[in-house]
Structures are given as C-alpha cells and as structure tokens.
Amino acid sequence: MAQTLRLLGASLLGLTDAVAAQRLQQIGPHYLPDLRARPWWHRLLLAFWNPFLMILAGLGLASFLSDLFFTSPADRSWFKEMLLAAMLLCSGAVRFWQERRAEQTIRPLARTVSRTVQVLRRADEQAAPMLRRIPLEEVVPGDLVLLEEGQVVPADVRLVSAQAVLLDQSLFTGEAMPVEKHDSEQGGQAVPRLRSRTDRSLLALLESPHLCLMGCNVIRGKAVAVVIATGSATVFSRLARQFLRRPLLSALQQELNQVSKVLLVSLLLMIACLLLIRGITRGDWSEAVLFALAVGVGLTPEMLPLVVTAALARGVIGLARVGLVVKHLPVAQMLGALEVLCLDKTGTLTEAAMQLVTAIDVSGQEQDRVLRLAALSVLAQQQGAAQGNDPFAQAILTAARQRGIRLPAGVVFGEVLPFDPIRKRASAIVSASPESASAMQRQTAALLLCQGSFEPVLAVSSAVETREGVQPLTEVSRLQIRRLARSLQEQGLRVLAVAYKPVETQRTRALASEEQELIFAGLLGLSQTLRQGVHRGIEALRASGIRLKLVTGDDERLAVRLGEEVGFDSRRVLLGWELEGLSENDLAMLAGQTDIFASITPLQKALIVRALQQSGAVVGYLGDGLNDLPALRRADIGLAVSGATGSTQTAAMVLMQTSELARLAAGIRVGRRVSRTIGKYLAITISSNFGNALSILLASLFLPFLPMLPAQLLMQNVLYDLTQISLAWDHLDPEELQEPHRWHLAPLLRLMLIMGPLSSLFDILTFLILWWFFGARTVTSAPLFQSGWFLEGLSSQILAVHLLRTHRIPFLHSRAALSLLLASGGALAVGFLLPMTPLGALLSLVPLPPIYFLWLLLVLSGYCLLTELVKRWHLHRFGGWL
C-alpha cells in the first residue's frame, strides 16, 4: 500500500486542492465512455448513417452518372438529382435536429441522478483533511474515496482500509456470487474463473483481494480506497469501448433491422425486374436504367429514420412530463411492449420509513431489554452515530428514545459484520466499561450482538433468554418462537430477531467465526405503510393490461397480507426454497401462474424474471434497493423508483421522478403510442410502396411508354412522404392503448401482401380507363396517361394513410390529428394544382379533362369501400390490426 501511495504521489491525508486541480487539467475529467457528449459534427454524421439514406444517396449517384453518360446535354435537367439531394438533406437534417432536441430534453433531467463521490481533500499542505462530496468527473488518481454499502465503485481503486467489504464483480465475470475484499495483499477468497475469454491481466486484477474495479457494486461493508486509474485508463472504460464498437441492439433496433433487410431485398428484386423488363421489351437500356433507378427511389422509405426518431423523441418528452426519465431513446418504444411487471415491496409499494410496534421476549411480553440490545446493535453497525439511512435502524433508535430507554455509557464499538441479503443478519462487537457491563446484565468484557430476520438469527442460536434465565434452545422453544413470529406477521408486521453472546476480548477480531451458539433475546415487530396512491396505481396498471408480480424477500405471511391488500391473487405463493431444484421449464410454468413470490433472494429475483421472459413476455422490474440489482439487469426494462440507491439508478433504464405508480401507467401508454405510431408508418409505407412497384411492373409489360416519368415518381414520393411525417404527431384510438403492443415482421409482410395488390387493382383500373376512355395509348398521349396516374396514385396513397391508420371507419369513427389532416389536404391540393403550373410542365404533367375527375372519384370511392371490407375481413380472420 505504501508503494502504491508513493507511486501515485498521494498520502493518507488526501490530495490538496492545488494538486487535484493540476491533475484534473493534465489527465482530464473522469468521464464514463457512454456519458461523454458527442460533438455536433459526429452526431450530424450519425444522422445520415442509415441504410435507407445510404441507398437514397447511392441511387442519386447512380442517377447522376446515368444522366451524365446516357443522356444528351440538351436533355439533361438535373431535376431528379436536385430532388434526391433535397430529400436526403431534409431527412438527415431533421433527424439530427430531433435527436439533438431529445438530448437537450434528457440532459437536464439526467442531472437529477448525477453521480457524486466522497473524497478526502485538503485546502493546502498545512490544512486538516476534510471529507467532501464532489462530482464524479472531478475524481483524479491519488484521491482517497469513501466506499459504502450500495455504492458503485467510481474508479479503479486500491483499498487502504476496509471493514467486511463484499464486492459484486459480475459486471466482469458473469458470476453472481460476490467476493470478499480487504486491504491486505495476502489471502482472501478467489474470484470464480471467467466464463468468457478474457486476458490474463484482467483475471489477475479481479483476483487481487485489495483491488476494486470501476463499475463493481459494494454489497456490504465500507472502505477507504486510493484511486489508481480514471477515465479511459480504467478497465471498465477499455472494455466499454469494445462494447460500444458493437453495441447491444434493443428490441426496436432488431425489428427495424429485420424490416430493413426485407425491404432492401424487395427493392433490389424490383429494380432488377424493371430493368430487365424495360430493357428486353423496349431495347433502350439507358431509359431502363433511369426508370429502374427512379422506381428504386420511389420504393425506398427514406423517411423511416425520420419518423422513428421523431416518434421516439416525442415519446421521451411525453415520458418526462409524467415524471419518467429514460436513458436511451428506444426505451420509449420498449415501454409500449411491456407485458409483465415485477414489483419489489419495500420502498416500491410501501414507504421506506418504518415504525417499531412491539419489542417482546420469547414469552410474548413487552421487554425493554430486547429494544435496548437492538439499539446497541444498530449503533454498533453505525459506529456510534445515532443516524443513518437504514429504515430499520431509524425505527429502532426512534422507539428507544420515545420509550426513555437509556443506553449504557462508555460503550466501545468493535468489529462489524454488516447486513447483506444473503445472510439476512448483521453482527457487531460491543465492548463495555464496568459500569455499562452491569447495565447490560453481563459481567463480561464484550458482547456479540446479532440482529436480522428471525429465522437466520434463530438458526445460529443455541440458547434462549427467559425470565428464569438462559435456557437451552429446544425444539419446543423453537416452535414457540416461530408461532410468536407468525402471529406478528399475520398482523402485517416485519419481524426482526435479536440475539447475543459474551465473547472474550482477544477473540473479538474473529467475528465471523463467533457468529454461532448465540442466546436468543426476543423479537421486534415493525410496521410499514403503503405508499401514497399505490391502490390507484395498481388499478391503472392492471387496466392497461399489465400482469403484475409481487417479488419480495419478506416472509410468506407478510407478503400475502400486503398482496391481498393491493389486490394480488394469494391462492398460490411461490417461496424461495421451492425454486431450488426446479427445471427452467417448470419454473417458467409456475412463474406464469403465480402472482406472489416470497422469501426470495436477490439472485432468485433474477431467475424469476428470466423464467417469465422464457414464456415470450416482455418483462420489467421495478425496485429501489441493492437486492434488486440482479433482477434490474436481467429484465427487459429495469425501472428505479424515486429515492432508489445510486447503484439501482445506475442499473435501471427508466428512472421514476415520482413514487406514484399511476404515473408509470401513464408512461406505459406513452410508450404504446410510440410503438403503434412506428408500426403504423411501417405498415402503411410497405403496403403502398409494394403496391406501386407491382403496378409499375404490370404497366411496363404492355405500355409502349413509361407509366410515369422518373421525375414525376419522385415528386409523388415527396408529397406522400410529407404526409407520412405527420404520422408521428397523430393521435390514436383509446382502445389501442389498452393493451401492450408488439409489432413483428410477419404481420407487416402479411398486410403488405394483402393491401399492396389491393391498391394495384385500382391502379390497373385507372390504366384501363385512361387507355379506353381517354385514348392514352400512344407515345404522344403519354403525358395524359402519366398525369392521370400521378393524381390517382397520390390520392390513393394519401387515402391509404387514413384508411390503414385505424381499425375504425376513418373520418367518421376515428378522425386523424389536425396536423395529419392539414398535411394530407396540403399534399392533395399541391398534387391537383401541379399539372396547371410551370413546375408541372417541367415535369411533363398536363391538365386533365374535367370528366376524368368524375372517373377518379369513382375509382377512389371503390378503393375506400373495398379497403374497408378487407379490413373487416382481416380483423375477423386475424383478430387484430397493425
């Protein structure tokens, strides 16, 4: 240790402010890899890094080269290329603006959960060291930091002094079992071997008993440590950079990638077919290339990244309004797919604060001595400070003061074995002066005090204190104690037990080995009240179609009483010991049938979440404490309630700025709005584009001219896309928000294969009308044909947005948002006026005879009627819509 301090230029008194400032300037802030803000130019490049935009850019380049080499200088207009460039720039720029806006919304909210660290600093060399709380970014090598239970190690550190430190290194090892750490370089428990191929240097660091790596969680104990590495020099940062190169894809990203692959394959096939058909049948390969490229542009959903980003950003802002902060944009959509929510009890459903109701001996009589021993145990855990964050400790000390119980003076607090969720008990050594020894009624130099859940304390007890004195703990007395505890639990009380035993002074450093053959003193009964609005929140979540599971480490009776109070089904309760030996399939079946899980360890909470996921459900976990970390990490969506520990907030994906569960239900509805909006855009776009491609293929087989010029197709696509953008601001039918929403590739493809040919049917009908009734059969009459199909195609596509956006009858039973109505009306107005403008003439669009609009009205009416009939059939056949 001395060598480490010397190499770092540090001391046990801490760094001075001047040295710390100098190192901060030299080394730089201690940023985490995923928290450093990207420069604006990097975000701008990422805004354009999208497969559809890349295809659009490629098509634009190919079109430019085709015009350059296959078109005479007199016929070049570059209109298509300018339009393509405008669409590309618009899509990427708006995506950049939306992501920047979302980031600006998240950043101030994220500051409310910013991390701070307690360090030992001095004003100058002569000043006394002081414990200060500074931002995580200002920590530098050589700083002395304080590590406490429930905290995440803020940097790579070397322990200087440690008290019973237990560290969770599963972030690096994948092993859930924590390991002991201490300030000695010798001995210690070896960490389990890594499952993955990791370099030997990392393995050596993890096995070092005195080193703690950034990102690990302190399960129990406290320590003072010297920082040896910060920022990019930490092991966590080096590994994180590898993960950031290949980031973990969210469910939304995976689904979008699947859709992208299908669309890209379809696009390439359509382009190839058009190229071959036009080239073989007409013999003009340059024209075939130009038209195939234009069709490729028309089929590319270049607004997909824009609409997705806009919907997600709008969802994040909506979540912030109801008090939910999400760390990543895709989480907004994942909330909409949430189907099962596991709830912790303490701090989530009940208030963290507790009140002591009773302190009784083994005969069931109130006994101040039991409360006095419990208060001494609490003070020993807190090293004499009559304050702390532990609600049990606060309740015990408050009750002792209220009852006028005087604690003995001259008490010396020794070694401490803190409470942890595995042992479910805490022990400490209390040494007393002769005066205080008589007050404790034991003529010994020291006492070992043990306090915790009554079964774990009872398990290490061999005697019991009665009015007649200390008696051996028989099976009869064990049964009596269990009945007494059960009676308190049936009253809805949390039950703690207190035990003790005299120890010799020279053996007080071997606390772990002395925690056996204790004298059982009595029981404590503590009460908790439900958090405000729990009943209303539970009802709102259930009304939203969320299946709720109560997962708690509390005793069965206490869990059942609370569960019944808030409406959980208590006919089947699954206990922690029942999980042992169950196969994954059996556990998945039982987990799906059970609402209340009691006496569950932290690792078993994660097993329950995994079992629920195996049934195909999207599972969330809502917790607030250290024992919820494994489940939060395992869940599809980890949520931390207001007031959760720092490590819990770090592990969670969603941070609740309020304790009201009704706000969470409102946030889930926001997520469903996001999910359905993206799903609707995909369904409508895929169906319309497939129908257009099919119509063009069919028309190319018999028409002596192009059914639509490339520039016309591009203009139609622009007008249609402008309408599509407004879908991100559309409102939904109320029943669409009542159930979780998950969209997959198969239903989208099914809708494409149904609705695409349906729209092509009316395109062909329009072709026949233009061919037979308006004589558009020759090359000279091609502008009339192209103008007629331009209007019909644009009108049917815009109508499809309103027809497919709802399972109801549009305009009558479900009206779109004003923004969508205005965008649709504006696009139609521009489309109908365009043939009469100079721009329309530039696009080779001509005014149509008035009688055509009557035919157009009949075609569009038939399209609307048949689409509604197919929708009814689809709802009846498949039981759902989009």
What is the fold, at CATH topology level, of the domain defined by 44-104+249-320+667-878?
Calcium-transporting ATPase, transmembrane domain (1.20.1110)
Least confident stretch, 363-367, 457-461, 560-564, 869-873? 560-564
The partner residues of 342 in beta bridges, in order of sequence, read 549, 621
Write out pLDDT tens, residues 714-750: 788 888 878 888 888 888 888 888 888 877 778 888 8
pLDDT of 186 strictly over 60: no
Tokens of 604: 């078993």
Q: Per-residue confidence at 72, pLDDT binned at 50, 70, 90?
A: low
620 and 635 Cβ atoms separated by less than 8 Å: yes
Mean pLDDT of 791-812: 92
Residue 95, pLDDT score: 64
Q: Where in the chain is the domain with CATH 3.40.50.1000?
A: 324-350+531-657
Least confident stretch, 267-271, 337-341, 485-489, 808-812? 267-271
Answer with the residue of higher pLDDT: 815 or 280.
815
Q: Per-residue confidence at 505, pLDDT binned at 50, 70, 90?
A: low
Tokens of 6: 């010397």
Tokens of 158: 């070397």
For residue 449, the one-letter residue type is L
Mean pLDDT of 181-196: 49
Separation of first and last alpha carbons in the chain: 64
Residue 198, pLDDT score: 38
**Residues near 253 by Cβ (< 8 Å), separated by ≥ 6?**
330
CA–CA distance, 529 with 527 (Å, rounded to integer): 7
Residue 538, pLDDT score: 93
CB hemisphere CA count around 428 (13 angstroms): 27
Which residue in the block uniquely carries the two structure tokens 């931390």?
640
Dihedral sign computed on CA atoms, order 651, 655, 661, 665:
negative
Q: Where in the chain is the domain with CATH 1.20.1110.10?
A: 44-104+249-320+667-878
Least confident stretch, 624-628, 849-853, 875-879? 624-628
The partner residues of 656 in beta bridges, in order of sequence, read 324
864 and 803 Cβ atoms separated by less than 8 Å: yes
pLDDT of 357 strictly over 50: yes
CA–CA distance, 630 with 214 (Å, rounded to integer): 17
Query: Which three-class secondary structure state does DSSP give residue 506?
Result: helix
CA–CA distance, 454 with 547 (Å, rounded to integer): 32
Query: Which three-class secondary structure state does DSSP give residue 599?
Result: coil
pLDDT of 827 strictly over 90: yes
Residues found in the chain: 882
Answer with the residue of higher pLDDT: 74 or 356.
356
How many beta carbons lie within 10 A of that of residue 393, not counting itself? 23
- E runs forming strands in 641-794: 654-656
Q: Per-residue confidence at 772, pLDDT binned at 50, 70, 90?
A: very high
Q: Which of 729, 741, 737, 568 is nearest to 666 (CA)?
A: 737
Question: Which of the listed ranges 63-72, 307-316, 434-443, 812-821 does the model predict with the highest average pLDDT?
Answer: 812-821
Tokens of 625: 């404490």
569 catalytic per annotation: no
Mean pLDDT of 532-542: 91
151 and 647 Cβ atoms separated by less than 8 Å: yes
CA–CA distance, 763 with 765 (Å, rounded to integer): 5
Least confident stretch, 349-363, 384-398, 717-731? 384-398
CA–CA distance, 760 with 768 (Å, rounded to integer): 12
Tokens of 708: 């639509």
Residue 388, pLDDT score: 52
Write out pLDDT tens, residues 582-595: 888 899 999 999 99
Percent of the chain beyond pLDDT 90?
31
Residue 326, pLDDT score: 85
Residue 202, pLDDT score: 57
Alpha helices in 415-453 (DSSP H): 434-439
pLDDT of 440 strictly over 80: no
Q: Where in the chain is the domain with CATH 2.70.150.10?
A: 2-30+115-245
Least confident stretch, 32-36, 203-207, 287-291? 32-36
- Rg, the chain, Cα only: 35
| Selected catalytic residue, list 143, 344, 628, 721 | 344
Alpha helices in 146-195 (DSSP H): 170-173
- CATH superfamily for 355-527 is Calcium-transporting ATPase, cytoplasmic domain N (3.40.1110.10)
Phi, psi of 157 (to 5 degrees): -135, 160
Threshold 0.75, pTM exceeds:
no
| Domain 324-350+531-657: CATH architecture, name and number where available | 3-Layer(aba) Sandwich (3.40)
Pick the CATH number of 2-30+115-245 from 3.10.129.10, 2.60.40.3500, 2.70.150.10, 1.10.4080.10: 2.70.150.10
Query: Which three-class secondary structure state does DSSP give residue 247?
Result: coil
